[in-house]
Chain A
Amino acid sequence: GESVGLHLPTLSVQEGDNSIINCAYSNSASDYFIWYKQESGKGPQFIIDIRSNMDKRQGQRVTVLLNKTVKHLSLQIAATQPGDSAVYFCAEKKNSWGKLQFGAGTQVVVTP
């Protein structure tokens, strides 16, 4: 079946470096994608979203890139900080009425 998945379960990043978290999706009908951050013991927290009519969207220190040709989504975090250590989930939605489908998550560990 179609699903959202992540390439790497764990990503180790040195403080100050840029992080890139990848996500593959197989449902070409999905038109909305979201990145969530989940810190230990807390609920997921919205980071940034992107609609399928866009290729790139920027937030504060974060950028989401969408490549519809290869069905790939990525989250870039600039100048990674210790507070960025968390599990990052991508999620997709088929349309505004669709339900969110989550990937398994990537653990980001920031080292000094």
Chain B
Amino acid sequence: NAGVTQTPKFQVLKTGQSMTLQCAQDMNHEYMSWYRQDPGMGLRLIHYSVGAGITDQGEVPNGYNVSRSTTEDFPLRLLSAAPSQTSVYFCASSVQVGSYNEQFFGPGTRLTVL
């Protein structure tokens, strides 16, 4: 199993540009989520999904969209990038909702918005 994979690893955008951060998992996990990590702060939840076709907002959803058309993929879209979205983004998955299973994290995407 490749686990949780994320692409790209690094990205530089100009203010106003849009892009999609890709996340995929091959563990047939039901639950997937996106976090952002800023210096000196813990991970903050952006959006999450409890299964294909179901998504919901986390703690900091503004400026981001998600969709979950398949169990494997959970892309994160930035509609109009802003410097405040400069961060490291992590995708995570776990076996199922309503459980105490651990979350598995991807390697992250480091995004810089100029």
Interface residues, chain A, CB within 8 Å of chain B? 4, 9, 32, 34, 36, 41-46, 49, 51, 89, 91, 93, 96-97, 99-105
- What A residues does B33 contact at CB under 8 A? 99
Whether A49 touches B100, Cβ cut-off 8 Å, given contacts A43-B106, A44-B105, is yes
Q: List 10 A-B contacts (CB under 8 A).
A: A32-B100, A34-B102, A41-B107, A42-B107, A43-B90, A43-B108, A51-B100, A100-B43, A100-B45, A101-B42
Chain B, Cβ-Cβ closest to A36: B105
CB proximity of B26 to chain A, nearest CB, Å: 16
Q: 10 smallest A-B Cβ distances: which pairs?
A: A102-B42, A43-B105, A46-B102, A102-B43, A44-B105, A97-B98, A96-B98, A104-B42, A103-B42, A43-B107
Cα separation A32 to B98 with both chains bound (whole Å): 12
Beta-carbon contact of A97 and B107 below 8 Å: no
Within residues 74 to 113 of chain B, which ones have a CB less than 8 A from any CB in chain A? 90, 92, 97-100, 102-108
Determine if B98 and A49 form an interchain contact, defined as CB atoms under 8 angstroms apart: no
Chain B residue contacts of A105, Cβ below 8 A: 42
In Å, the complex CA distance between A99 and B44 comes to 10
Q: Which of B33, B48, B105 has the most CB of A within 10 A?
A: B105
Is the pair A96, B42 in contact by a Cβ cutoff of 8 Å? no
